[in-house]
Amino acid sequence: MATASKSTHKKAQQLGLAIPKGTLLAIGGKESKSQEERPDSQEENTKFISEQILKRFVKELYGKDPLVLVVPAASSEPEPVAKEYVKLFKELGIKRVEVVDIRTRDDAKDPEKIKQVDAAAGIMLTGGDQLRLTSILGGSPFLERLKERYLNEKLVVAGTSAGASAMSTNMIYRGEAQGGMLKDEMSSTAGLDLLKNVAIDTHFIDRGRIIRMAQAVAQNPGCIGIGLEEDTAILVKNGIEVEVVGSGLVTILDGMDISSTNIYEIESGDPFTIYDLKMHLLGDGKTYIIPAFNKEANAGAKSAA
């Protein structure tokens, strides 16, 4: 896998920015959960690997008998969602799996739930509604402890669908499913800020979300857009080192070299224009360095070693 350059780490130190010791796994949704199951969009993919993403999550866990927490806070029906993941992780060999039932902001202040974070080797944020997730967890003691451990320890934090979308600095939470070409057809807000200078969108190809992501990037070209297809994920180490895992594609939109856009001039409901927006399409095993500090830090799309 491509690694961040020494100059990038040095630049981070100069800016007083800490490089996380933890690992993120952002999943585009509908990840394979059984030997029989495969996403409909991947039927012709002869290199499909059953349960590949969840097995990678387990592989990244640190310790001999790791504790995995399932956090279904994004879901309006948390019990069946949590039950499914508990079953899955136990089938994958994890003996200790606990559910953290957080439904209100008071729940996110509960000292007992924070103690669960202290003991965890891995945390799974399930799908649902990303705005529900950020509204409940944002600024809470639970999230602050999670982020503290992710920054300073080898904690693995995974999120699928809404759980992945909420990981980024800029979070898309509403937009036309097959549109986004008109100004203000896309809405965004602050995410959980685990992944800096990035906006994540999920179910990306299946739901035709490239245009709404382009609008998000046009509004803030310093924010890299990452679109995750179903049964496809990015594994992120050191806060910027990305590896693709899964059966589909990851789409990356880089707006740092945009020469012009009229997004700030046009009226709401008008189509927007962007010149010189850069795009990468990455498959399983390919890598990318998020250009967090400067262009030289970006190694671009490379084959995994």
Grouping H, G, I as helix, E, B as strand and the rest as coil, residue 211 is helix
- Can you give the pLDDT at residue 46? 57
Instruction: Please check whether residue 289 is in contact with residue 242, taking contact to mean a CB–CB distance below 8 angstroms.
Output: yes
State the residue range of the domain holding 129. Answer: 22-34+47-297
**pLDDT tens for residues 195-248?**
999 999 999 988 888 998 999 999 999 999 999 999 999 999 999 999 999 999
Give the CATH number of the domain where residue 69 resides: 3.40.50.880
By annotation, the residues acting in catalysis are 161, 203, 230
Minimal CA–CA distance to 13: which of 292, 295, 220? Answer: 292
In a domain, 125, yes or no: yes
Q: Lay out the sheet containing 278-282: strands in order across.
A: 186-190, 168-175, 195-201, 224-228, 250-254, 278-282
85 occurs within a structural domain = yes
Residue 281 lies in a domain: yes
Number of domains in the chain: 1
| Burial classification of residue 278, based on how many CB atoms lie within 10 Å of its CB (0-12 exposed, 13-18 middle, 19 or more buried) | middle
Name the pairing type of β-strands 122-125 and 156-160: parallel
CA distance 23 to 165: 16
Nearest 10 degrees: Cα torsion 13, 149, 2, 284 = -150
CA angle 198, 203, 206 (to 5 degrees): 130
For 22-62, write each residue's pLDDT tens digit: 999 999 999 988 655 555 555 555 556 789 999 999 999 99
What is the reported pLDDT for 301?
Answer: 43
